[in-house]
Amino acid sequence: MINLSSLDYNEIINQEKIVSYFQELHSVNRKNILGIEALSRGINSKGDIISPISLIKYARENNSSIQLERIFRKKSVESFKNWAADYPDLLLFLNVEVTILPELTSSPPVRKAHKRGFLKGTFTETLFGITK
């Protein structure tokens, strides 16, 4: 595993060097792809992939969780647009830090999308395995 330095973290955040990969989520009952889950990773200056666990841990320790979460969501949605054009019924699943839920659910773009019927969601809290 690549060690995350403060220099790497700041570069990843300031330059938004986050990439999103997608994992298919299958419906056992329907026997089809229900949606895709966005998996975010950082890229350091050497091109190494930095795990989300390292990024989240560093963000928590340095009071920048909200900033990191915003970039995760932004990059995931930007990347999802490529899929959505070809598969309009495909659902996007995002993992978010529970501490940012009030900000996420009260933001004007989210409220507008929900009101227009473009956003449907359920918030499910799970334990990710990182302790503060």
Residue boundaries of the structural domains of the chain: 6-95
The whole-angstrom distance between residue 107's C-alpha and the CA centroid of its chain comes to 16
Taking only the tens place, the pLDDT of each residue in 100-132 is 555 555 666 666 665 665 555 554 444 444 433
Beta strands 18-27 and 32-43, pairing class: antiparallel
Task: List pLDDT tens digits, range 40-92.
Answer: 999 999 999 999 999 999 998 999 988 998 899 899 989 988 888 888 888 88
Average pLDDT (3-19) is 91
d(CA 91, CA 89): 6
The CA-based diameter of the chain, rounded to the nearest angstrom, is 47
Query: What's the pLDDT score for residue 83?
Result: 80
Kindly state the average pLDDT of the residues 28-49.
90
- pLDDT at position 118 is 54
pLDDT at 89: 83
What kind of architecture, by CATH, is found in domain 6-95?
Alpha-Beta Barrel (3.20)
Whether residue 90 contacts residue 35, with contact meaning beta carbons closer than 8 Å, is answered with yes
Confidence of residue 32 (pLDDT cuts 50, 70, 90): confident
What does the pLDDT read at residue 84? 82
* Per-residue model confidence (pLDDT) at position 127: 44
What pLDDT does 94 receive?
Answer: 82
